[in-house]
Every structure is written in C-alpha cells, then in structure tokens.
Structure 1
C-alpha cells in the first residue's frame, strides 16, 4: 500500500474536492473522499481511526493525521440553558465558546483568537491579553462541538466570542465559507462583530458575503470611544462610519451597531441624540446591550428607566433600535464576560 503522504494542516475546513484530492494522494479511490467528508462534517469524527468504512490497514497508517478537533476542558450550564465551554486546542491553549439555545434556534458564539489585543475597558477577554489567531479548523470546530453536545442542529453563528475577527480575517472568512458550504448554515444566519480595523470593513465588503456585519461602537463621540476602546485612538469614529456607509453601498446589507450601555458613562439622553446624528442617512440598526459585570472594573448596568429613555431618544429620531439582554449571565457566559479563566489549569 502507498505510504500516507503528510498533510500540513488538519483536515477540518477542507472542501469535498480538497478531501477527495487528499485521499487520492494516499493511493485511495476517489469515493473515499466523500466518505471522509461525511464522517468529518456529518458524523463528527474526532480521528481518522473512527472512520470504520475505511480499510483497517489504512486507518492504522493515519494515526498521525489530524482532523483538527478540540476537547471540552470545562462545561458550565447557566440557569437559562446557555452552555459555556472551555475548549482545549492541540497546543494546549484554551478558548471559550458559548451555545445559546431557544425553542426555535441554537446559536453559537465563536471565538476568533486566543485572547484579544483590543483591550476594551469593559470586556473581560481584553484583560487577559492576546496570544494568537485561531486557525480555520479551530473556528469551525467550535460549532461542531456545540452541535454535538446539544445533539441539535446549529442555526445561527455569531463571531462575538474571544478576539477581533478582522485581525484574523483570512481564517475567519475561510471558516464562514466552510460553515456555509460544508456544515450547511446559511450566510445570512452568521454575524461577524468587529470593533473596527482601518480598511478591513471595505476589504470585507469586497468578498460580497451575505453575513451580518456588527460594529462594536459603544460610544457616541471620539473622546468617549477612546476612553472605552484604546484602539480607537488610531481610527476615528468618522472614518469608521465612513467605511460602514461604503459597506452598505457595496453589499446592500445593513450594518448593526453594538452599544454596551454603561450607567452614567455612555447612556445619557445626550449620548443617544449624538449617536442618532451619526447614524442618519444609511441602513443600520442599533443593538443596545446593558452592561454585564466583570471583576476588573466597576461599571454599572443602567436601570430599566435609563435604558428605555435611551431607546426613546433613538426611536424619536427614526433610528432602528432593540435591547439585547445577554444570556448565560450566571455562568459568566454573557457578552463581555468571556476569558481564558482560572478554570483552565
């Protein structure tokens, strides 16, 4: 039998034609490519040794070939059914992902980096620093892990976990394509959230993906944004919004703006009016997120009355707005709470 040819990267993330080419390089018939594809994406094989339709002798030669699956290092279930996972990667690094079930959907909040370099003041992930980008297979694996653990098909994906996706754009986009093409999740059910990296939103628009772009704004003026998001010092609010307008023109897709409400900091009526003035004239939607507490800072969540006043000010100015109360709060799985925690040891 022909010796197994080395593969430079795990097989997860590869398309059917790519897997077919690979099995043929191993001296196997082309139809084994479809078998491999089905076992990876439909049956959830963790290793090639599990693929019982392959000849036993060939399977024994594939021990060093990685599919690219992680292991569940820790699992916490919140009272609302949200599940937070700490996943251990091949190099021992830990990432977090979250499964958010409702009656009609199962959403996975995926990470794109180990840690995050953006250091947003109200977010736990940024407090731990940045280690590395995730590879394509490490992003796709998160979705398959949640789908298998819930024994239920994932319907929606949000790139709102650890990391800044547009600093890992190549792998994030490759993962989106794989999740759509191979896992069967519609691009319109996928949301990519970014703080905003100069020039990257326009580059994303060139790909003509049908995903939802969510921009983490969190402030209604430049000075306040710099206070909350250190990277904003190198990227003005005006420039960011200009890219967002260009994105809408290029894709025909509206932009969602994420805005974490911090009591007494960015939630005053004057902030709402200022925000509305910035967002006039192009298709967008504002998601208000009442602050979810972390230990490192003492921000407070606004009262229901403060939140409603902010909503009213936006609606009076014809800005589409909704309030998103995060799931998984009691398991530290809510928006802004993800980190590589002490539980990884």
Structure 2
C-alpha cells in the first residue's frame, strides 16, 4: 500500500476544489481585478452555487468566457437515492469521469460522537426533541475518500470493490456541498457533523483528504471539532496527522483485541500490528477534554466475548480514549453473524466497569445498505429510485 503525499499537478477546469490563490491566478489571466476571485470563491463555497451562469456577482461577460473556455463549478451529482424507514438517505454520487461513490445523510446522527469530549457529543447526549426548533437541523453526513477501498477488511462490503482511484479534494468536499444543498442546510445555524467513514481509506489518500479538510474548515466554515476521520491504521499517515495544525477528530477502526484475530479480519495488521498502531495513535495531540475513538465491530463468536473485552481494557485502558461498539451490519454472502444482545451488553459493561467510556453506535439505514460497512456503490433498481436534481 502506498500513502499518497502529493496532489495531481494537473489542475482540472472544474473549479470546486480550487483555493483562493488559484482563483486569483485565474482572474489575473482574464485581466480581472483580484476581488473577482473573492466573489467566485464565495459563490463556490459559501453560497454553494452549482453552475457558473448562476453567479450573479460576476459580470455576464466573465461567466460566458469561463464557460466558453471549459470551466465549470464541477460539483459531483446525485445520480440515485434510497431512503430508509429511519429517515437515513443514501446517495449514489456520480463523478465527472463516470465513477461513483456513496454518501449518507443521517438526520439526528448515529450516536458516534457520544463521549468524545466535544460540543457535538454534548448535543447528542443532552438534546431532546422539545429543545429543537422546527427550522433547526442536526445531522451527520458520511462521505467517501476513494472509489472503492484497498484495505480489504473482511466484514465490509466496500472491500469487495477493490480500489479504483483516489478522490480529489474537490470531489471529497463536493459530496458535502451537494448534500447540504439538498437539505437546505444553513452552516452556523444547523448542527452538521461530518465523518470521513464512507468508501475508502482516507489515510491512503492523505494529501487530498487534508486538502479537503482545509477547504471545509476554511471556505465552507465547518468546524474541525465537528469532523471525524476513521482510519484502519495507516501508521505513516497517522504520524503526519499528529503534526497537523488543523485536523478532524481521530477514530481508529480497531475491531479486535489481539493481532491474531485482527489479522484474520483486517489483513493490514500484517503490515502494522496493534502495538505499533497504538503507539502511533498515542502521539496524536488531543484537545481539551477530547478522546480518541476506537471503533470496534462486534462479530459473533470471533471478537465479542468477555475474554476479548478484558484484552481490550489492557490495550487502551491507559489512553484517553472511548470505544464505539458497532454491532456488525449484515451483507450478502458475508461469513459473519451478529452477536447476541446479551454478549454486546456484557462487553459494554466490562469496559465501563473498567472506566472506559463505551457506547453502542446506533445502526442507521440498514434496510437500504447505508450502515457502517455496507456501502458498495449499489446500482440495483430496488430500493434505489432516480430523483430530480
């Protein structure tokens, strides 16, 4: 596996993803004053305008010239959608080259932020329906970082796709923009949490992932404290991440309490074992009250017994950490089963009895294959339906 550290040197004429300095250079090439770049920047990222001909702050002549020269906003498009009985929506997102990824909208979230020591956690733990105004939204959006995935976790449907390519920073952030537009979200009023937990391993597309983070926190005004990135344990990227000045919260997909079990379900363990992974994670500086999250998918008879809970306590008991327990979400022809409810409860209780915050993450959208580990670029006619864009 190779960790990417450089973005492509060829700049697309799709403008979404360009930083202000790039837009300023473009305006200079058109003999336009610098403030035109700021107007274009604002239209792309704060107004989230989908077409150049809709940017009324730019003169018609500039818009027409940009379009004539092949420039476009270049947002990806929602090709299909599926809606769950719990309100979750899963989108098949079509990119400019025809490749597709999946993105998920979870109204109310899935409880993943609980206990992580941030404002998002406080909202999740304290908010009641009576405190929510009719015009206020709180949701979690799950976005993808690659077309497919190379990590090959055995319990995840995305692994069956293999890896096709990395997403650009604009394609990563663009997923958020089109979902915000679909739901008329007002950034700053509505409480939106963003998780890089869709298709792909963000830390194997590190440069583009971090470029998207800087775009999201800057131009699009999404606080870093409302973002979480999940990694299977790409140690070189974790070490880079530890030195970032702007960064999301960190979640590590651990899923086992010893190397033998983890290697059987996450082959990446052969390259980076648990001991070295935890040592790298321990070097990531945490904000005041913040905890690193360890994601633990419970698989019946494999990693869900009290012996595993005891091993897990020994692994992370001295870290400033919390555990998100995820009851495995089924997929077709997958060689696993869901754990028994009493085993899940006993596992959680043992962690909590040993002063480790442990939460059972709510499954969202299982009926439409939108839950954790179920994203697979679904194109079947049912239950997906085409929607008007």
Q: Say which SS state the counterpart of residue 199 (structure 1) adopts.
A: helix
* Aligned counterparts of 1:82 and 1:65: Cα–Cα separation in 2: 34
Q: Deviations over 1:183-233 (max 9, x none)?
A: 111001000000011322111101133421000000000010000001111
Q: Is the contact made by 2:197 and 2:229 (CA closer than 8 Å) also made in structure 1?
A: yes
What residue in structure 1 maps to residue 329 of structure 2? 292
Q: Is the contact made by 1:87 and 1:94 (CA closer than 8 Å) also made in structure 2?
A: yes
Q: Is the contact made by 1:48 and 1:66 (CA closer than 8 Å) also made in structure 2?
A: yes
- For residue 304 of structure 1, report the CA deviation from its aligned partner: 2.0
**21-30 or 289-298: bigger deviation:** 21-30
**94-103 or 218-227: bigger deviation:** 94-103
Q: Which one of 319, 343, 346 corresponds to residue 309 of structure 1?
A: 346
Q: Deviations over 1:223-255 (max 9, x none)?
A: 100000011111111110111112247998531
The change in CA–CA distance for 1:29 and 1:107 in structure 2 (over 3 A counts) is same
Q: Is it true that 1:208 corresponds to 2:241 in the alignment?
A: no
Q: Is it true that 1:101 corresponds to 2:107 in the alignment?
A: yes
- Structure 1 alignment gaps of length 5 or more: 1-5
* Aligned counterparts of 1:13 and 1:251: Cα–Cα separation in 2: 31
Q: Is the contact made by 1:95 and 1:162 (CA closer than 8 Å) also made in structure 2?
A: yes
- For residue 318 of structure 1, report the CA deviation from its aligned partner: 1.5
Q: Is it true that 1:323 corresponds to 2:323 in the alignment?
A: no
Q: Say which SS state the counterpart of residue 246 (structure 1) adopts.
A: coil
Q: Say which SS state the counterpart of residue 260 (structure 1) adopts.
A: strand
**188-197 or 319-328: bigger deviation:** 319-328
- Structure 2 alignment gaps of length 5 or more: 1-9, 109-131, 385-389
Q: Deviations over 1:68-95 (max 9, x none)?
A: 2111111111111111000110000000
**TM-score where L is the length of structure 1:** 0.93
Q: Say which SS state the counterpart of residue 170 (structure 1) adopts.
A: helix
Q: Is the contact made by 1:99 and 1:146 (CA closer than 8 Å) also made in structure 2?
A: yes
What residue in structure 2 maps to residue 246 of structure 1? 283
Q: Deviations over 1:121-173 (max 9, x none)?
A: 11010111110000000001000011011112361110000000000010101
Superposed, 1:1-345 pairs within 5 Å as 8-63=12-67, 64-102=70-108, 104-153=137-186, 155-248=192-285, 253-343=290-380
Q: Which has the higher contact order (CA 8 A, sep 6+)?
A: 2
Q: Deviations over 1:250-286 (max 9, x none)?
A: 9985311000011111100100000110012221110
Q: Deviations over 1:44-64 (max 9, x none)?
A: 222322223333333222221
Q: Is the contact made by 1:49 and 1:62 (CA closer than 8 Å) also made in structure 2?
A: no
Root-mean-square deviation (CA, aligned residues, Å) is: 2.1
* Aligned counterparts of 1:7 and 1:164: Cα–Cα separation in 2: 23
Q: Say which SS state the counterpart of residue 45 (structure 1) adopts.
A: coil
Q: Say which SS state the counterpart of residue 216 (structure 2) adopts.
A: helix
The change in CA–CA distance for 1:23 and 1:343 in structure 2 (over 3 A counts) is farther
* Aligned counterparts of 1:324 and 1:217: Cα–Cα separation in 2: 15
**277-286 or 164-173: bigger deviation:** 277-286
**TM-score where L is the length of structure 2:** 0.83
* Aligned counterparts of 2:376 and 2:54: Cα–Cα separation in 1: 32
* Aligned counterparts of 1:228 and 1:169: Cα–Cα separation in 2: 23
* Aligned counterparts of 1:277 and 1:7: Cα–Cα separation in 2: 48
Q: What is the total number of aligned residue pairs between the two structures?
A: 340
* Aligned counterparts of 1:252 and 1:318: Cα–Cα separation in 2: 15
Q: Is the contact made by 1:292 and 1:337 (CA closer than 8 Å) also made in structure 2?
A: yes
Q: Say which SS state the counterpart of residue 352 (structure 2) adopts.
A: helix
